[in-house]
């Protein structure tokens, strides 16, 4: 390795620039460059500063050859035989050598330095005793690195000359604490008489000496988990600093505190590689493997150190270790291996001791740990622990019965840092390795018992109707736990009806948010569970099939959707559920599938049956009744009977505004449906007003980036397109496309709708090449997801035909129009405006080619469609009428033109 290459590597591992190191040392960046290139060597002054900065020896930084003497100061430790006056010689009782593998923790060490260097605690000013700096504690879970950080701080501060003396007290219990003071007394013959045997008098003499000592000192209390016990042994004044390491969480009465967190991924990988002695020759691939191990170990320092020791001792390599760990996790977490850090216990041993202490202190806390071992670890809602009480064992059920006992329960685990409490969010968390060790301590029956209890509790608190916006925050709060339940079901092959119920509800939440792939996974899991538990012909199995059929249809999985629908329909014909309201909901789901599958008459029949049940059971004004009425109206509209549905929508709107408010998502959904109806009727101004209200409400209630806001933006752009207001439509269209891509991706079928809309705008603005590219992309996506016979596909074909007609590419345009009309015939009623629009555009193509007779028949069909749909003032109707009259006049068929005009006026008058 090149001279000083280690120095460069250490800088890079910390993500420091050469300028950063220069700034920290107070030198020029050119100097750092020369050091790293080996052109120049740091002098003794800068070697000491470099060692302090990186926390490494000169050999580790490669600043001297292995056989060269180090420039680091020599460790001085007093001996009982020394006769030097106590006030003169330095005392060092740190019982551990400096950890050669210590990595990172720079922010924590800097915070300690900053805390201990406050102006009012300047140790160099004056000789009279002063008030002791407020004690500083570093706290955290066992094995997180508290002691190692304290050791590193002691060595660094000694290198920097911050303290004359450094004392180490082992404070695991009062016995070890007194023993440490007695041993310290042996080093202080001028303070403690050799004949003194009273331990408390020895302590008092040492504390008195510390409080009067003029030289600066550092006193470290290690593993002081019982701070009430240790507190009487703290100095109360003097020119020194008190550093405490503890697992206790609530220590504000004794000291300010810094929490030792898990390591970052890069930091942890550096520790692993250094511990395994692979750092100097690591490749990018090995660094990636090291980071994967760190992630698998939950970024936990002691576990990372254990892994490094195992890799070094066995020579198994990084990739092999990860494979071994995934199979033999329990054994590896118990195996400490040879270590050089002064921490003899393994991860499993460290926490097992804590678990045993918890069991003795508060048995219900052990049950809570077992419960936490089966839940998603990072965000466990407190209300799940409390409201799930009916499913817990007696001890835990009693412990969560009221807030006082619940807080006492959590305090027991907080005292050992086994959990964290996120008070603001009312959640607790448990480290993934603590969870893993606790899981491995339970036998299989206990694991299954707590798994089943957790699933039942999550099912109990997850909202029953996840499609309603007011319940979405709760759904989001519990989704991690639902996913944990899903994993438990898969892992242990649990057959619980509650699992199927909660998975189905979570799937409905995902479906509502257009997250179809996540929804399908949960729907399929729920279906499998219900088939296994209830049987393939049970009505609950039928309900699952209904949800799945709608989802599969939306995903373009037509064959699968049809199979699911037919199965659900067959179950319904042979077995109804015991609850009429559930039966009505089932009918609505089947009707929804019929709407998507263009089975309008069957869907209308089902929706009418559902509406009758709701009106009989709940009344005409109930919110559930409005859902059935909405479904029925949609099915009637698709059959071209627009005049019959406006009153139904207005009735729903009045009910929802009264019950939910004008801006509730369910209210705006009705407004959106009204907008669609008005668009079909050519009532563009009214449609625009509806869409604007919907957009304003969703922006306010859901935010500007929510997917439902995006759909409102898209709908408004479509209204402007229909009115020919392309300049106004374009920004809305582009904004909608960006949001659809953000939520669904570029290749989703609904994103294709936005591509089509923007293409229409560009086409009318003359950007034909851009429009063609977007239309081709939209057509490809719609055909892929929806199949070749679908209204959206027909719309893409028609727009491409219009574009080719504008370019004079008549031969290419004609088959597109013909195919679009074939799709229309299969999917729309004759009076649908899309049918009239396609006929009209095809007529324009025929007329452009001089095929006047064909054009005449197409214009006539288009006009008849508009008349039957009562669209007398619609812009499309007026355009068709204008072109047809012009064609007749050009052909000299004046009398026919006059008769047509008379018929139109008479029909319009009668209809009005």
For residue 873, what pLDDT is reported? 57
Residue 258 pairs in a beta bridge with 138
In contact, 551 and 516? CB cutoff 8 Å: yes
- Exposure string over 256-294, b if 16+ CB within 10 A, otherwise e: ebbebebbeebbbbbbbbbbbebbeebeeebbebbbbbb
Average the pLDDT over each of 223-232, 551-560, 569-578 and give the range with the smallest value. 551-560
In contact, 770 and 746? CB cutoff 8 Å: no
In contact, 553 and 593? CB cutoff 8 Å: yes
CB neighbours (10 Å) of residue 363? Answer: 14
User: Three-state SS across 835-847?
Assistant: HHHHHHHHHHHHH
Element (H, E) at 360: helix 347-361
Mean pLDDT of 274-293: 86
pLDDT (tens digit, 9 = 90+) per residue, 785-836? 777 887 888 889 999 999 999 999 999 999 999 998 888 787 666 667 778 8
Cα 66 to chain centroid, rounded? 49
For residue 352, what pLDDT is reported? 79
For residue 243, what pLDDT is reported? 94
Mean pLDDT of 322-335: 81
For residue 77, what pLDDT is reported? 40
- Angstrom CA distances, 806 to 552, 563, 772, stand at 38, 43, 12
For residue 339, what pLDDT is reported? 53
User: Virtual CA dihedral for 39, 44, 50, 55, nearest 10 degrees?
Assistant: 130
Q: pTM for this structure?
A: 0.67
Spatial distance between the Cα atoms of 572 and 854, rounded to a whole number of angstroms: 49
Spatial distance between the Cα atoms of 905 and 883, rounded to a whole number of angstroms: 17
For residue 124, what pLDDT is reported? 44
| 455 contact partners, CB below 8 Å, separation of at least 6 | 485, 488, 489, 494, 496, 498, 499, 502
For residue 385, what pLDDT is reported? 96
pLDDT at 287 over 60: yes
pLDDT (tens digit, 9 = 90+) per residue, 181-212? 988 888 888 888 888 889 999 999 999 999 88
In the chain the first and final C-alpha atoms are separated, in Å, by 94
| 763 contact partners, CB below 8 Å, separation of at least 6 | 771, 799, 802, 803, 806
pLDDT (tens digit, 9 = 90+) per residue, 224-262? 988 889 889 999 888 899 999 998 877 766 778 888 888
In contact, 597 and 562? CB cutoff 8 Å: yes
- Angstrom CA distances, 389 to 456, 461, 473, 841, stand at 11, 11, 22, 67
Confidence of residue 2 (pLDDT cuts 50, 70, 90): low
- Proportion of the chain above pLDDT 70, given as a percent: 90
pLDDT (tens digit, 9 = 90+) per residue, 739-795? 999 888 888 888 999 999 999 999 999 999 999 999 999 999 988 877 788 788 888
Element (H, E) at 713: helix 707-722
For residue 125, what pLDDT is reported? 43
Structure tokens at 733: 């269209």
In contact, 110 and 274? CB cutoff 8 Å: no
For residue 276, what pLDDT is reported? 85
For residue 68, what pLDDT is reported? 42
Mean pLDDT of 335-341: 59
For residue 120, what pLDDT is reported? 47
- Proportion of the chain above pLDDT 90, given as a percent: 39
DSSP letter for 72, please: S
Spatial distance between the Cα atoms of 435 and 181, rounded to a whole number of angstroms: 37
- DSSP 3-state helix, strand, coil percentages of the chain (rounded to 5)? 65, 5, 30
DSSP letter for 83, please: -
pLDDT at 346 over 80: no
pLDDT at 408 over 70: yes
What is the DSSP pairing of strand 427-430 with strand 136-139?
unpaired
Phi-psi region of 556 (alpha: psi -120 to 50; beta: other; left: phi over 0): left
For residue 49, what pLDDT is reported? 73
Spatial distance between the Cα atoms of 26 and 814, rounded to a whole number of angstroms: 78
pLDDT at 15 over 90: no
Confidence of residue 633 (pLDDT cuts 50, 70, 90): very high
For the chain, give the mean pLDDT.
Answer: 85
DSSP letter for 92, please: B
Listed in sequence order, the DSSP H helices in 787-851 are: 791-806, 810-827, 833-848
Q: What is the DSSP string of 188-199?
A: -TTTS-TT---H
pLDDT at 643 over 60: yes
- Angstrom CA distances, 557 to 461, 549, 554, 562, 740, stand at 33, 9, 8, 9, 21
| 787 contact partners, CB below 8 Å, separation of at least 6 | 556, 558, 793
For residue 70, what pLDDT is reported? 40
What is the DSSP pairing of strand 240-246 with strand 427-430?
unpaired
For residue 831, what pLDDT is reported? 63
CB neighbours (10 Å) of residue 516? Answer: 22
Mean pLDDT of 605-609: 94
For residue 50, what pLDDT is reported? 81
pLDDT (tens digit, 9 = 90+) per residue, 616-630? 999 999 999 999 999
For residue 457, what pLDDT is reported? 97
In contact, 451 and 439? CB cutoff 8 Å: no
CB neighbours (10 Å) of residue 705? Answer: 12
- Range of 27-31, 317-321, 724-728, 885-889 with top mean pLDDT: 724-728
Phi-psi region of 790 (alpha: psi -120 to 50; beta: other; left: phi over 0): beta
Which phi and psi (to 5°) does residue 850 adopt? 80, 15
Confidence of residue 502 (pLDDT cuts 50, 70, 90): very high
In contact, 527 and 501? CB cutoff 8 Å: no
For residue 869, what pLDDT is reported? 67
Residue 170 three-state SS? strand
In contact, 708 and 468? CB cutoff 8 Å: no
Q: Closest Cα to residue 306, out of 278, 352, 258, 339?
A: 339
Tokens 């002063």 identify what position?
Answer: 130
Write down the number of H helices and E strands in the chain. 41, 8
For residue 907, what pLDDT is reported? 57
CB neighbours (10 Å) of residue 838? Answer: 26
pLDDT (tens digit, 9 = 90+) per residue, 62-106? 775 444 444 333 334 433 333 334 445 788 988 888 888 888 888
Spatial distance between the Cα atoms of 776 and 752, rounded to a whole number of angstroms: 10
For residue 477, what pLDDT is reported? 94
For residue 619, what pLDDT is reported? 95
pLDDT at 909 over 60: no
Confidence of residue 129 (pLDDT cuts 50, 70, 90): very low
For residue 830, what pLDDT is reported? 64
């Amino acid at each position: 390795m090149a001279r000083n290459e280690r120095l460069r590597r250490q800088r890079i591992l910390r993500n420091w620039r050469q300028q950063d190191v220069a700034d920290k040392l107070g030198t020029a960046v050119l100097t750092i460059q020369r050091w790293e290139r080996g052109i120049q060597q740091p002098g003794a002054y800068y070697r000491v500063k470099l060692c302090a900065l990186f926390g490494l020896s000169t050999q580790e930084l490669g600043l001297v050859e292995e056989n060269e003497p180090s420039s680091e100061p020599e460790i001085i430790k007093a001996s009982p035989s020394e006769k030097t006056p106590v006030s003169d010689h330095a005392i060092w009782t740190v019982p551990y050598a400096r950890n050669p593998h210590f990595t990172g923790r720079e922010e924590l060490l800097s915070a300690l330095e900053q805390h201990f260097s406050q102006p009012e605690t300047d140790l160099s000013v004056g000789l009279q005793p002063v008030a002791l700096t407020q004690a500083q504690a570093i706290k955290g879970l066992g094995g997180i690195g508290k002691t190692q950080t304290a050791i590193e701080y002691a060595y660094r501060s000694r290198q920097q000359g911050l303290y004359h003396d450094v004392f180490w007290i082992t404070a695991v219990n009062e016995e070890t604490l007194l023993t440490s003071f007695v041993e310290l007394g042996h080093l202080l013959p001028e303070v403690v008489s050799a004949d003194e045997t009273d331990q408390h008098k020895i302590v008092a003499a040492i504390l008195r000496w510390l409080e009067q000592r003029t030289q600066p000192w550092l006193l470290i209390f290690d593993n002081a988990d019982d701070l009430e016990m240790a507190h009487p042994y703290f100095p109360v004044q003097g020119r020194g600093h008190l550093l405490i390491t503890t697992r206790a969480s609530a220590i504000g009465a004794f000291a300010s505190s810094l929490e030792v967190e898990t390591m970052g991924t890069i930091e942890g990988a550096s520790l692993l590689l250094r511990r395994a002695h692979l750092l100097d020759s690591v490749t990018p691939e090995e660094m990636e493997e090291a980071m994967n191990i760190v992630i698998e170990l939950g970024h936990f320092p002691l576990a990372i150190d254990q892994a490094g020791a195992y890799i070094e001792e066995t020579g198994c390599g990084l990739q092999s270790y990860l494979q071994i760990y995934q199979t033999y996790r329990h054994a590896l977490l118990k195996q400490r291996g040879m270590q050089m850090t002064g921490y003899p216990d393994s991860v499993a041993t460290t926490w097992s001791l804590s678990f045993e202490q918890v069991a003795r202190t508060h048995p219900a806390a052990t049950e809570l740990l077992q419960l936490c071992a089966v839940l998603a670890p990072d965000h466990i809602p407190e209300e799940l622990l409390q409201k799930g009480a009916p499913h817990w064992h007696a001890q835990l059920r009693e412990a969560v019965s009221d807030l006082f006992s619940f807080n006492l329960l959590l305090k027991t685990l907080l005292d050992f840092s086994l959990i964290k409490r996120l008070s603001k969010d009312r959640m607790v968390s448990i480290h993934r390795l603590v969870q893993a060790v606790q899981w491995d301590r339970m036998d299989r029956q206990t694991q299954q018992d707590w798994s089943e209890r957790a699933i039942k509790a999550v099912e109990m608190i997850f909202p029953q109707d996840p499609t309603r916006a007011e319940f979405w925050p709760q759904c989001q709060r519990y989704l991690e736990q639902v996913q944990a339940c899903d994993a438990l079901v898969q892992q242990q092959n649990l057959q619980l009806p509650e699992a199927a119920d909660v998975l189905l509800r979570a799937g409905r939440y995902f479906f509502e948010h257009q997250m179809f792939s996540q929804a399908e996974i949960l729907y399929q899991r729920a279906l499998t569970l219900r088939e296994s538990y209830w049987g393939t012909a049970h009505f609950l199995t039928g309900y699952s099939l209904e949800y799945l059929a709608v989802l599969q249809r939306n995903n373009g999985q037509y064959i699968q959707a049809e199979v699911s629908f037919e199965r659900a329909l067959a179950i319904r014909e042979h077995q109804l559920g015991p609850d009429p309201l559930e039966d009505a909901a089932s009918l609505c789901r089947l009707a929804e599938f019929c709407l998507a599958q263009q089975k309008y008459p069957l869907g209308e029949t089902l929706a009418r049956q559902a509406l009758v049940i709701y009106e009989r059971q709940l009344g005409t004004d109930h919110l559930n009744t409005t859902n059935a009425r909405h479904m029925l109206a949609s099915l009637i509209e698709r059959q071209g009977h627009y005049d019959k549905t406006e009153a139904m929508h207005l009735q729903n709107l009045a009910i929802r505004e009264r019950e939910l408010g004008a801006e509730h998502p369910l209210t705006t959904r009705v407004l959106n449906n009204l907008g669609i109806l008005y668009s079909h009727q050519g009532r563009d101004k009214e449609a625009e007003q509806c869409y604007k209200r919907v957009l304003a409400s969703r922006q306010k209630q859901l935010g500007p980036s929510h997917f439902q806001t995006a759909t409102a933006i898209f709908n408004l752009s479509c209204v402007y397109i229909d009115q020919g207001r392309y300049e106004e439509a374009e920004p809305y269209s582009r904004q909608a496309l960006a949001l659809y891509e953000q939520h669904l991706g570029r290749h989703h079928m609904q994103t294709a709708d936005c591509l089509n809309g923007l293409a229409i705008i560009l086409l009318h603005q003359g950007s034909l090449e851009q429009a063609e590219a977007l239309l081709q992309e939209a057509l490809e996506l719609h055909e892929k997801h929806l199949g070749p016979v679908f209204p959206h596909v027909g719309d893409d074909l028609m727009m491409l035909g219009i574009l080719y007609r504008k370019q004079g590419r008549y031969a290419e345009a004609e088959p597109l129009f013909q195919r679009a009309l074939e799709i229309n015939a299969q999917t729309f009623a004759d009076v649908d405006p899309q049918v009239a629009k396609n006929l009209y555009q095809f007529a324009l193509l025929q007329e452009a080619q001089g095929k006047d007779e064909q054009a005449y028949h197409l214009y006539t069909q288009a006009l008849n469609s508009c008349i039957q749909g009562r669209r007398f003032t619609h812009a499309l109707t007026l355009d068709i009428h204008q072109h047809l009259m012009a064609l007749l006049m050009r052909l000299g068929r004046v009398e026919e033109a006059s008769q047509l005009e008379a018929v139109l006026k008479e029909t319009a008058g009668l209809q009005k």
